[in-house]
Amino acid sequence: MFKKPISIIICMLFIGSVSQPYAQTNYQRAPMLYQKIITGQKKFEDLSQHEKMLVILVDQSISASDENIGDYGFSLRDIEKKCEVYKYSDSYGDVECQGSSLRIIENKCEAYFPDPQNGGLECQGSDFKVVERKCSVNMYSESYGEIDC
């Protein structure tokens, strides 16, 4: 139903001189609009062009999280649910996952921390570029952090 490329949608959202507070307010409404569409409370056809773009953006974001990475049989959502980071120094940490299907993420990726509470993932191999781009680390204790994709 919503198969437009996300980059085009993002560009369309910001064409013109839309003020940042206006864009943020509308961005915050997007999940609510999406929920109304999927529950049948509102028809997609009845939305304004801008609201349609917001709903498409949310749908694309959700779809991307569920797509498998390469031929490995897991998605960004699986990484988010089943993996965490153990921070072993000020700048680096290990990725630890539940389940053997994600062992390759443990072996190919590590966390780096430009600041004490927030970090990213660095991975070996082009199959995992999407993990580097879309996932981040947020520390919930001194030694452990959750992965958000």
Distance CA 69, CA 28 (A): 28
Q: How confident is the model at residue 21 (pLDDT cuts 50, 70, 90)?
A: very low
Three-state DSSP state, 46: helix
Distance CA 20, CA 131 (A): 28
User: What are the φ and ψ backbone dihedral angles of 40, each rounded to 5 degrees?
Assistant: 85, 10
Evaluate if residue 97 carries a pLDDT over 80. yes
Average pLDDT score over residue span 144-149: 95
